[in-house]
Amino acid sequence: MTNFADTREVLSNYLKARIPLVVIRSMERSRCEDLLISLAQEFRQMPFYLHSRTEGIKQLGDGQLVSDDTSLPAAIDFATGVFKRTEFANFVFTDVEELEDETSTSRHFAELARLAETRGDTLILFSSKPVWTGLGRLGMSVTLDLPETDELYHVISGLIEQYRGQVRIDWDAEDVRTAAGILTGVTETEAQNVLASLIAGGTLTRDNLHKLSEYKDRIFGDLAGIERVPLREDCRVGGLGNLRTWLSRRERLMFADYTQLKITPPRGVLLVGVPGCGKSLSAKAIAQDWKLPLYRLDMSAVLGMYVGQSETRLREALQTADRVAPCVLWIDEIEKALASGGGDSGTSRRLIGQFLFWLQESTSRAFMVATANDISSLPPELTRKGRFDEIFFVDLPDACDREEILRMYFSSLCDYELPDQLATRLVRLSDTFSGAEIQSAVSDIGQALFADERADMYDEDTVVQFFENTVPFAQSNPDVLENIRAWGRSRAVPAGTEQTDDTAGMPGGSTGRRIIMTV
C-alpha cells in the first residue's frame, strides 16, 4: 500500500522532473492538500497555486488568496495565464468533474497540460477515479491510499495528547496501536471524528476499544454486496471443542499488531457438514465472542445480468469487506454461490477466480466463515490447504449434546424444566436429529400449548408424539448424509468430539460436533 511518505517522495521526484501533468488518485482531499503544502515549503523557489470551489485561488505556500472567483472556467483561464508567463509554476485543481471520459473538460485540461510542458510547468489534478486515457498519458499519476496503521497511530496519538489531563484517558501506546488497527480502512478525517466522539463522552478507557468497530460500521452504512447481520447478546455456542479451541488461538491474531510481523491475519474457516447442525449459527457466535461486526456476503445481490457485472460487484463487495475490517464475513451455503459448472458463459469460473485471489492476497482482518452442505459441487482449488486456514466437519449431535439442546429449548420456548426420565426418552428418540430438528419439534410443542391455552406441559406420551411426527434429514436422505460424512471423515477436521455408540446405527456414524445455540 502506498502510504503518505511514499507518495510524497514520488510527487517530489515528479516535481523535480517537471512532469507536465500529475494526477493524484485519492478520496481524501485534505490529506492531498497537506501533502502538497509540505512540498510547497520544500520547493520555495516554485510558485504553487490551488483552486477550490469554496475559496477560489490561493497560494499554497502562505495561504494568501489570489482570486475569490470560485468558477472552474475562471480558474482554467487563470492557470493558462500563469503557465504562459511563468516557468516552473505548479497549479492544483481539487474539484474537477467529468475527467473519466473524453469530454470538453478533459480535453481542455489536456491542452493545459501541453501548455505546461512548453514552459516547465506542472498541472496537478485531484481525482478519486481514473482519468481519460488521452489526458492521463500526458503525464504521470500516483495513488494516495487510505492511512496505514502507523499513520493512524500518529493521528490518534496526537488527538489524544491534546485532551490528556482534561478528560480521563486510560489508553497506553499498545491501546492506541490496537485502535489504529481497528480503524484501518477509514479516512484520516473519519478516524478523527470517531476519536472525538469517544473523547466527548468524558472518558477513554480500554472498554471503548470495542466501540470503535461500532462507530466504523456507522461510517459505512449500507454497503454494496454485503449486509450487516444484527447479533443478540445471548448468542453463544457450546461444545464444538476442536473448533472453539482453534478459534480461541486465532482471536488474539485478529487484534495483533502486524507492523513488525511477517505473518498475516487469519483468513477464515470453511464449515461443512450435515444441514441443520449449526454451521450458520457458528458464524454469529464467532462474531459475538470476538466482539466484531458480522457481515453476510449476499451473492444474490452480487450476481448481475450483464457480462462482467457480477465480477465487478464481487470485487467491490470484497473491497468493502477489507475496508470495514476487522469483521467477520459470512458466506452461507457457499456451494450455491460458487458452484463449478457450465451454462453461465464462464461467470462462475471468473467469480471463483476472483474470490480465490482475494482469499490468497487479502491482508485485511476480514475473517471469512463459509458454510457448505454439498461440498462436492465446489471446485477442488477452493478446498486445498492454504485457501482457508482450516476446514471443519460438523456432524449430528451426540447424546450429551442432544440432552443439553433439549433442556435449553424446552426452557426457552416452553418455560418448562425437562424431567430426567422424559429427557432420557427424548434423547434416545432423537438419536438422528439435528439441532434444528430438535428446535422445530420443541417449537411445535410451544405453539400447541399456546393454541390450546394450556399453562402446564402435555403428558409424556403426547410430547413424545411430537418428536415421532418429525422425520429427520438423516432418515429422509440417508444416502446424502452418508456422502456428506464420507467427505468430512477424509478431508476435514472434526469440529467436535468422536461420536459415542448411540450413533452406531446411524448411516456413516463417525466424527461429531457439539453445538448449543440460545434463542
For residues 93-124, b (16+ Cβ closer than 10 Å) or e, as one string? Answer: bbebeebeeeeebbeebbebbebbbebebbbb
Residue 371 has a CB neighbour count (10 Å cut-off) of: 23
> Of 48, 96, 88, whose CA–CA distance to 70 is shortest?
96
Let me know: does 91 contact 79? Beta carbons within 8 Å.
yes
DSSP-derived secondary structure letter, 132: P
Q: What is the pLDDT of residue 238?
A: 53
| Single pTM value for the model | 0.66
For the chain, the structural domain boundaries read 4-143, 149-221, 243-394, 399-503
Helix (H) or strand (E) holding 55: none
Could you check whether 4-143 and 243-394 share the same CATH topology?
A: yes
CA distance 223 to 438: 35
CA distance 327 to 334: 18
Mark residue 123 as left, alpha or beta (left: phi above 0; alpha: psi -120 to 50; beta: remaining). Answer: beta
3-state helix, strand, coil in the chain (%, to 5): 50, 15, 35
Return the CATH fold of 243-394: Rossmann fold (3.40.50)
- Please state, in angstroms and as integers, the Cα–Cα distance from residue 215 to each residue in 28, 189, 210, 275, 448, following that order: 19, 13, 9, 35, 43
Give CATH for domain 399-503. 1.10.8
Residue 161 has a CB neighbour count (10 Å cut-off) of: 10
Checking DSSP bridges between strand 65-67 and strand 90-93, what pairing results, if any?
unpaired
Positions in the chain whose pLDDT score sits under 70: 1-2, 221-224, 233-239, 303-308, 337, 339-346, 497-519
Q: What is the pLDDT of residue 21?
A: 97
> Of 405, 375, 98, 473, whose CA–CA distance to 240 is shortest?
405
Q: What is the pLDDT of residue 236?
A: 61
> Of 19, 23, 68, 62, whose CA–CA distance to 40 is shortest?
62
Q: What is the pLDDT of residue 426?
A: 92
What's the half-sphere exposure (Cβ side, CA atoms, 13 Å) at 28? 20
Terminus-to-terminus CA distance in the chain, angstroms? 43
Q: Which CATH number fits domain 4-143: 1.10.10.10, 3.40.50.300, 1.10.150.110, 3.30.200.20?
A: 3.40.50.300
